Amino acid sequence: MALSGLQGAMAASAASVSASMPASASTTNADAVDVAGEVADEAASTAKPESALDELLRFIVDGVHHIAIGTDHILFLLSLLLVSVWRREGPVRWWPPTAGWQPRETARASWAEVLKLVTSFTLAHSVTLGLATFGVLSPPSRWVESVIALSVLLAALDNLLPLLRAPRWAVVFGFGLIHGFGFAGVLQDLGLEPGNIALPLLGFNLGVELGQLALVAVVLPLALLLRRSAFYRHAVVVPLSIGIALLSAVWLVERAADVTLLGVGG
């Protein structure tokens, strides 16, 4: 009986306190939520959309970044650049390594060779990058990555031994088509909006070209400076080409067989 009376008194007290509270206090939280929602809506409505120039620059940066971290693409180009300051002449010689290469007489001839190689690679990968990005062609990524590894392997081995008889620019064009599919996979992973593909494609491709030109700007002047020396032949070209060939052979096995041997990025 006493407990029942106590509960009744507590209920009455609570009701009295509730009744004595001002109406504005009961609506304070709801008003705060409404104000916060209005502020958020206003901020969203006034947020400046990304301009076409900003979007273009963003994808240019993405393209440069991909070249910077794309070890397989870098090593493919590096293999080509190492011997771009040489030319093959005389009878085919398989031993010792690099025996068939002789220094080009002028820097102009070397720059002309690099221009042919870079232009060939650019045209080729631009074609397949565009076709894959627009969904016209979509080869299996495992096949693409395996052939990219093969291209690095052959480019490095050809520095040492006369494996590729076709003009180098033609070989580079063929492999460039495959590298373009690799670039397309990266671009698609960045997230493209339907109906907004052309500008990101342009920006990403420009970024890739800038990354390639940066590599040329670093490697070619040094190669030109050292091209006539035994040091460049025996301490630079031979060991680098052997190292690139070994690493790319591992990549080829890993990608073709879908296994991990070294786990070194490519």
From 117, 120, 110, select the one nearest 222 (Cα to Cα).
110
pLDDT of residue 14: 42
User: Tokens for 265?
Assistant: 């990025």
Helix (H) or strand (E) holding 222: helix 198-226
Q: Is 238 exposed, middle or buried (0-12, 13-18, 19+ CB in 10 A)?
A: middle
Range 55-88+96-257 classified under CATH 1.10.287: no
**pLDDT by residue, tens only, the chain of 266 residues:** 444 443 444 444 444 434 444 444 444 444 544 544 554 455 444 556 778 889 999 999 999 999 999 999 999 999 999 999 999 988 888 889 999 999 999 999 999 999 999 999 999 999 999 999 999 999 999 999 999 999 999 999 999 999 988 899 999 999 999 999 999 999 988 888 888 899 999 999 999 999 999 999 999 999 999 999 999 999 999 999 999 999 999 999 999 999 988 877 66
Rounded to whole angstroms, the Cα distance separating 225 from 180 reads 32
Rounded to whole angstroms, the Cα distance separating 104 from 88 reads 9
Provide the sign of the torsion angle of the four alpha carbons 188, 59, 172, 83, taken in this order: negative
Per-residue pLDDT tens digits for 160-179: 999 988 899 999 999 999 99
Rounded to whole angstroms, the Cα distance separating 117 from 110 reads 11
From 42, 59, 37, select the one nearest 50 (Cα to Cα).
59
Q: Is 99 helix (H, G, I), strand (E, B) or coil?
A: coil
pLDDT of residue 228: 96
Q: Where are the domains of the chain?
A: 55-88+96-257
The identity of residue 149, as a single letter, is A
pLDDT of residue 36: 47
Cβ within 8 Å of residue 242, ≥6 positions away: 156, 160
